[in-house]
């Protein structure tokens, strides 16, 4: 297909942070893949991806966490773009800008969310159908990409990321995200884990209020936490710092770390708790964030 780019036109979309409130590692498959059972929500903050028409495909990375993020074919954004071009025979490109607001290698799925967002954004820019949720393109880009593409509403992710179930009826809450500014490579965490055949997540009971949800969450696990703390002991301090905040009602680590998450009742409590953490740990990345809900603009 031939699409004439119109200079100056730009599309923008936020790639929201993926938060694993639970992460049960339930098995290991051939090829190094792991079976997971995870309750995933998305935060109302993330990287910002901008796409403009261009004859070529290019990527510029800017923002506070741009350092160390590749702008070549190693970046999942360009891999997603190339896959969409090939699928639909697109012969034009795009000038892409990725404003990195989220730390990377942080357990927030930012690279996968960036890729999922690129697919949606470029499908619109190039006027081609966006992939459906079961398109092989998604899994080819990484195990977390199908979950990020299925968002930004809550989901349960199972298997190696291919089994996605919408999770309706979660109570309202906000979050405090804390990262002690250490990178934790996922592969190293899996290598360090003592056990990879653990029980699955309990089903989320219907009709829970915030307190009941926190009680349920306190009985679930992130099976990667102990291994991640072995690699980065700062994670333990981040978890304890959140637990000391009176407004924070439950605490977990997201993904393979190092970002830790405290759940609070609302955004007012999130801002107050975040300020308290920032005062005590001035070198850390700390962000209050809403949970994405239906109709929330991104």
Catalytic residues: 18, 144
Please tell me whether 63 is known to bind a ligand.
Answer: no
105 labelled as ligand-binding? Answer: yes
Known binder of ligand: residue 38? Answer: no
Are residues 192 and 227 in contact, defined by beta-carbon separation less than 8 angstroms?
yes
Return d(Cα 122, Cα 84) in angstroms, integer.
8
Answer yes or no: are the C-beta atoms of 101 and 48 closer than 8 Å.
yes
Residue 19 gets the label, from left (phi > 0), alpha (psi -120 to 50) or beta, of beta
Asked if 179 and 254 count as a contact pair (C-beta separation under 8 A), the reply is no
Paired with 157 in beta bridges are: 38, 164
Q: Is 111 annotated as a binding residue?
A: yes
Torsion sign over Cα 40, 41, 43, 46: positive
Cα(21)–Cα(214) distance, rounded to whole angstroms?
A: 10
Phi/psi at 72 (nearest 5 deg)? -115, -160
Q: Which of 174, 145, 162 is nearest to 269 (CA)?
A: 174
280 labelled as ligand-binding? no
> 151 among the known binding-site residues?
no
Q: Is 125 annotated as a binding residue?
A: no
Residue 54 marked in a binding site: no
107 marked among binding-site residues: yes
Residues placed in the known binding site for ATP: 103-113
Residues placed in the known binding site: 103-113
């Amino acid at each position: 297909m031939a699409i004439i780019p119109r200079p100056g036109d730009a599309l923008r979309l936020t790639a929201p942070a993926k938060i694993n409130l639970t992460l049960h590692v339930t098995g290991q498959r051939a090829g190094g893949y792991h079976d997971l059972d995870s309750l995933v929500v998305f935060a109302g903050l993330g990287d910002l991806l901008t796409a403009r028409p261009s004859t070529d495909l290019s990527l510029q990375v800017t923002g506070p966490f741009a350092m160390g993020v590749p702008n070549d074919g190693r970046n999942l954004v360009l891999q997603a773009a190339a896959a969409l071009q090939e699928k639909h025979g697109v012969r034009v490109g795009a000038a892409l800008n990725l404003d990195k607001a989220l730390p990377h290698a942080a357990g927030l799925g930012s690279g996968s969310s960036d890729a999922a967002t690129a697919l949606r954004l470029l499908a619109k820019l190039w006027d081609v159908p966006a992939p459906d949720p079961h398109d092989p393109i998604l899994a080819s880009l990484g195990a977390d990409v199908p979950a990020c593409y299925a968002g930004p509403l809550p989901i349960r992710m199972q298997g190696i990321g291919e089994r996605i179930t919408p999770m309706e009826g979660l109570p309202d809450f906000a979050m405090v995200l804390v990262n002690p500014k250490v990178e934790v490579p996922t592969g190293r965490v899996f290598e360090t884990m003592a056990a990879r055949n653990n029980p699955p997540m309990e089903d989320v009971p219907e009709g829970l209020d915030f307190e009941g949800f926190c009680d349920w969450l306190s009985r679930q696990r992130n099976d990667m936490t102990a291994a991640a703390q072995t690699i980065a002991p700062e994670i333990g301090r981040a978890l304890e710092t959140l637990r000391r905040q009176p407004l924070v009602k439950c605490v977990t680590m997201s993904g393979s770390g190092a970002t830790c998450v405290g759940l609070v009742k609302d955004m007012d409590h999130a801002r107050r708790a975040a300020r308290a953490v920032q005062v005590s740990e001035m070198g850390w990345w700390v962000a209050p964030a809403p949970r994405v809900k239906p109709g929330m603009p991104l």
